[in-house]
Amino acid sequence: MLIPKENRKLIYQYLFQEGVLVAKKDYNASKHQDIDVPNLQVIKALQSMNSRGLVKTNFSWQYYYYYLTNEGIEYLRTFLALPAEIVPRTFIKTQKTSGRPGRSDGDRPQRQQRDRDDRDYRRRDDGDKKEGASGDFKPEFRGGLGRGSQRQ
């Protein structure tokens, strides 16, 4: 399929900027949801990149998910004439906030250390005393209480 160079450049710019691209499997859609390009051209351009190993593709619930590979990043840098310092948004590491919002780690109460004996409450130290039923206990079965049995 022939794709105009302006449209191909818009697709590649968006893909490089975000690092990922999602396209609905709707070949008749007039425009892609994020780019001002026909959806069919987006799908076919990325299908071509997938066959060259520049993106990886997943398909789920009637949507195509495209992910840039390292080779794809290098290809798009040369195609778009970008310096090496510019990277896709998915490669930028964000700083995580520590703890809960509005609460610093110093405000958090420390857990109290307990003695080993307090934690092990199941331990019995009764010497030779054995647990269980007494020696004269003899369980026996007196018949079933099912449908066919009669009570006496």
Helix (H) or strand (E) holding 130: none
pLDDT band at residue 96, thresholds of 50, 70 and 90?
Answer: confident
Beta strand residue intervals within 61-145, DSSP E: 63-68
| Mean pLDDT (the chain, rounded) | 81
The pair of three-digit structure tokens given for residue 64, joined into one six-digit string: 């195509």
pLDDT band at residue 98, thresholds of 50, 70 and 90?
Answer: low
Q: What is the pLDDT of residues 33-68, one digit of tens each?
A: 999 999 999 999 999 999 999 999 999 999 999 999
What residues contact residue 119 under an 8 Å CB cut-off, 6+ apart? Answer: none
DSSP label at 128? T
Pick the closest to residue 23 from 38, 7, 6, 8 (CA basis).
38
With H, G, I as helix, E, B as strand and everything else as coil, classify residue 105: helix
pTM above 0.85, yes or no: no
For 68, list phi and psi in degrees, rounded to 5.
Answer: -70, 140
> In the chain, where are the structural domains located?
5-79
The domain made up of 5-79 has a fold known as: Arc Repressor Mutant, subunit A (1.10.10)
Q: Please give the pLDDT value at position 100.
A: 58
Could you give the residue ranges of the DSSP H alpha helices within 81-146? 116-119
